[in-house]
Structure 1
Amino acid sequence: MKKIAACVVTYNRKVKLMRCLDSLRKQTAEGLDIIVIDNASTDGTEQELKTLISSGAIKYFNTGKNLGGAGGFYTAIKYAAPKYEYIWIMDDDTYPESDALKELLNAVKLLNDDFGFLSSVVKWRDGSFCKMNRPWLGEDFYEHILAIENGLIPVVEGSFVSMFVKSDTVKKKGLPIPEFFIWGDDAEYSMRLADLGGYLVPKSRVLHDMEENDSIDVTTTDYRRVTRYRYYLRNRIYIAKEHHDFKKVIKYHLSCGKQILRVLLHAKDHRLLRMVTILRGFFESLFFNPQIEYLDK
């Protein structure tokens, strides 16, 4: 079994993907294979990668259709887990610093290989911390004193913008849920692994090349992308249900009305589209119940 697979999911962002791959190839740690999962890009991604593929610098898989980020990560981890000890997961607009992997491996050693997942610190273009990729801190710090003394921070939720997991953990806890399509798949997966120990590794740093450093907002986002918001709402309600956090379920339900009102009062365009998107997310959440798939099935 080989040691580490860096799994990158891409869709129609070949310029950013090439920069991501360049960052991965410059890692100071050894033993890294690079796997690209292409969600059937139409911008010439495969042609752009032709030299890297033919030289063996990367492994390339085309899914044949756009499975979303969730489907892409599901595909990547399902492929990599039986073949590698560790899996380093990231989007195509993630650019790791040259020692990012080395610092993750230092954390593995410090923890004696006893962890559920590790996350890198995610920064935006201007050096500020990326708002969408801030992990949730754990509450029971006393169980993690040794890790804290050595600079690691206990967390209960992480992001697929640089998440590091063991293949043995995947075999125990299952695969990411592909039906999520986008948004929340990393939250659900990391929360599933968190009982084995989740940690933020401050010395492992990546840049997330998002267009804006902001959270998801159905009122202000570009109307051409707004229909995707239903996945965010649906998936977050599902996660709350699965964790029996019914206060949060009620909170999300009530927020639908608040968001519709906010759209009516503040949206600059396409109010009907935005309101329908909110309602679709709410109604889809009532029946959304995907099952976790395990590698041995």
Structure 2
Amino acid sequence: MTEAVPASPSTGAFDPASATIAIVTFNRSHLLTGLLESISAMEPKPGHVVIVDNASQDDTTEVVESFRDRIGTELVYRRLDTNTGGSGGFSEGMRVAYELGSEWIWLMDDDVEVLPQGLAQMGKWAPRFKSIQGRRYDYDGSAFYWQYRIAERMGIPIPFAPAGFDATGFKEMNSGCFEGMFIHRSIVQQIGLPDPRFFIYWDDQMYGWLASRKTTAVIVDEFVLRRTREIKQWDMGIRHMNASSNAYRYYIMRNRAYIKHYYRALGVYNPVLFGLGTTMTFAKELIRLLFVERTVRGTSNLFRGIRDGGRIARDRSWQPMAPLEA
């Protein structure tokens, strides 16, 4: 594994205008409205807001246009011809932000709101780190628990990574989440765009892992986002397990093949440990079905994902995403 190079403090202060917020949306104009309202109320604001619309069939275009003159910064709208999933949307959003010359790119879904000082709070850490994750409030106002570290060789999140922060105010991570990832263009240049082939699931974990191989990636003790969509959950005491969907179940298993390809390409693939991680992922999804969704229907999607993932894993022509030109 390539060792991460600790980020050194910069002599220059963070310039909010150097940042771009990149949003991916799909048929949720009511949620997008709330997010754009929160950006309108932010201070300071980013230099650009990029919205990637995954071919929505609702009034998303009209909503976006209604904010163009009142959001308080330049708004760039990209409506795609087809639904490319979150993976394709974030890949396009990152591409647009990078081509705009953004020094910092802040990724987020449409089902969050930005807290008024969110960009300033992230900017405090920008002189020190180049891959940063802030904290989020859940729909009910509690602190959202996110598994910020993975067991690398197994390719799965560590279920109970310590949640508390010490006096430093940050924790090193080797993962990522596109619901709030704040990343510097120099890292994007080195690892390329997010991989749209994932469609949904594991894409942000992989991208965060790739970033952590190039720089010291951190989650910081700053609440900067609030989730605005309620999701059915199983309260396990120290953490929650969210409900899923048949599509998610399929891609959770299928996309293990893409992780395997990346691991092989970067020389960290261990068939025994990775196979164990895949088995644990399958077991976790069965538990999710039984205890969160109270059903056994949906298991066929897990098996379809395993089948199609096998085909992807056998593709000898596969290549990882390429670095970007300066």
Note closer, same or farther for the CA distance 1:108–1:259 as it changes in structure 2 (3 Å cut): closer
The two structures have a TM-score, normalised by structure 1, of 0.81
Question: Match of 1:154, as an amino acid?
Answer: E
Q: For 1:102-156, what per-residue CA distance to the aligned partner results, in whole angstroms no more than 9, with x for missing partners?
A: 11110012x1xx43x100112211122334x3322899xxxxxxx9754122111
Residue 231 in structure 1 maps to residue 248 in structure 2: no
1:168-187 equivalence runs, <5 A: 168-187=186-205
**Structure 2 unmatched ranges of 5 or more:** 1-14, 153-164, 235-241, 313-317
Question: Match of 2:255, as an amino acid?
Answer: N
**Aligned 8 A contact 2:45 2:119 in 1:** no
Note closer, same or farther for the CA distance 1:138–1:166 as it changes in structure 2 (3 Å cut): farther
> What CA distance in whole angstroms lies between the structure 1 residues aligned with 2:232 and 2:47?
30
Question: Match of 1:51, as an amino acid?
Answer: S
Q: For 1:168-213, what per-residue CA distance to the aligned partner results, in whole angstroms no more than 9, with x for missing partners?
A: 2111111110010011111000000012111112124211223226
Note closer, same or farther for the CA distance 1:33–1:247 as it changes in structure 2 (3 Å cut): same
> What CA distance in whole angstroms lies between the structure 2 residues aligned with 1:260 and 1:201?
29
**Aligned 8 A contact 1:154 1:197 in 2:** yes
Question: Match of 1:183, as an amino acid?
Answer: Y
Question: Match of 2:103, as an amino acid?
Answer: E
Instruction: Give the secondary structure class of the aligned counterpart of 2:57.
Output: coil
Residue 127 in structure 1 maps to residue 141 in structure 2: yes
Higher relative helix content = 1
Which deviates more, 227-236 or 70-79?
227-236
Residue 279 in structure 1 maps to residue 303 in structure 2: yes
* 1:287 positional shift: 3.0
1:34-45 equivalence runs, <5 A: 34-45=49-60
* 1:261 positional shift: 7.4
The aligned residue for residue 18 of structure 2 is 3
The aligned residue for residue 16 of structure 1 is 31
Residue 118 in structure 1 maps to residue 118 in structure 2: no
Equivalent position to 1:79, from 92, 96, 102: 96
**Aligned 8 A contact 1:3 1:86 in 2:** yes
**Aligned 8 A contact 2:290 2:296 in 1:** no
**Aligned 8 A contact 1:5 1:86 in 2:** yes
Note closer, same or farther for the CA distance 1:108–1:263 as it changes in structure 2 (3 Å cut): closer
Instruction: Give the secondary structure class of the aligned counterpart of 1:182.
Output: coil
Equivalent position to 1:89, from 101, 107, 116: 107
Instruction: Give the secondary structure class of the aligned counterpart of 1:118.
Output: strand
**Aligned 8 A contact 2:52 2:93 in 1:** yes
1:188-199 equivalence runs, <5 A: 188-195=206-213, 196-199=215-218
**Structure 1 unmatched ranges of 5 or more:** 140-146
Displaced runs of 4 or more, over 4 A:
54-57, 255-270
* 1:91 positional shift: 0.4
> Number of paired residues?
278
> What CA distance in whole angstroms lies between the structure 2 residues aligned with 1:176 and 1:96?
22
* 1:50 positional shift: 1.9
The two structures have a TM-score, normalised by structure 2, of 0.75
